[in-house]
Amino acid sequence: MSTKQKIALMTGAATLAGGFAVVTMSMGHASVVCDGLDQALRNNESFIAGQRANPDAQSAARIANREAVIKQINVQREASGCGAAPAAPAAPAAPAGQGQGQNQQGQNQGQNQNQGQNQGQNQGQAAPPAGGAGGQVVCAGSTVTLSGEAGAPAASSNQFPLGTRLKVTNLDNNKSTTVTVTSPSGSCALLNNAAFEQVREPGKFLIRKARIERVG
C-alpha cells in the first residue's frame, strides 16, 4: 500500500469515527429530552386519572387544562422524534363502601384545594413584582405548567443543568417565584405543585403569558 493510500485510509477512518461520535451525542441528547417529555406526560395523565376517580366541582376544568398540556407535550414529542407515548396509567379504584359519601368527599377536596389556592395567592403577592431586578430572559414565548410533583418549590427543565436558579413570572397577575432546577423535564421550565401555587391564577393549570429569567 502506497503512502497516499495509507493517508487516505486513515483520513476516512477518522471522519467515520467523528461522524459516529456526533450521531451518538445527538441520540443521547434526544433520549434525555424524550425521557423528560415522557415523565411530564405520565405526571399529567396520573393527575387526570386521579381527578376522574375522585371528582369534585372543579375536576372538569382541571382535566380540560391538563388535556391541553398533554396535547402540547405530544407536539413536542413528535418534533423531538420520540417513539410511542408511554401507556396511560390506570385510574385508581374507588375505596369499597364509599357510596353516597363520595360527593361529600369531593366537596371537601374542592374546599381544601380552594384554600390551597388562596395560600398560593398570598405567597405570590409577597414575591418581587415583574420588571424588577432580574436576570437573563430565556425561552421567550414559552408556556409554564406544573409537573404534579410534591415537595418544596422547585422546577425541572430540558435546557438548564441541575442547580440553575430560574425566576418565573406570571404576566397575567405579575406574581413571581424563584426556584432551583432539581430534575430534567420536557419543558424549558416545569414547576412543581408548590411553586405553581405561588404564581397561578385560580382554576388555571397553564400560564400562557410567562417571563422566565435565569438568575443563577
The cell for 173 is 397577575
What pLDDT is recorded for position 169? Answer: 95
Least confident range from 22-31, 32-41, 136-145, 151-160: namely 22-31
What pLDDT is recorded for position 23? Answer: 45
User: What's the domain count of the chain?
Assistant: 2
What pLDDT is recorded for position 75? Answer: 82
Q: What percentage of the chain's residues is helix, strand, coil (to nearest 5)?
A: 50, 15, 35
Q: What is the pLDDT of residues 60-118, one digit of tens each?
A: 877 887 888 888 788 878 887 887 777 766 656 555 554 444 445 555 554 555 454 44
90 domain-assigned: no
Residue partners of 56: CB distance under 8 A and separation at least 6: 106, 107, 109, 110, 113
What's the domain range around 41?
3-79
Closest C-alpha among 39, 54, 32, 55 to residue 89: 39
Q: What is the pLDDT of residues 167-202, one digit of tens each?
A: 999 999 999 999 999 998 878 899 999 999 999 998
pTM here is 0.45
Specify the CATH number for the domain of residue 205: 2.40.40.10
102 domain-assigned: no
Q: What is the pLDDT of residues 135-146, one digit of tens each?
A: 899 988 889 988
In this structure, are 49 and 116 located in the same domain?
Answer: no
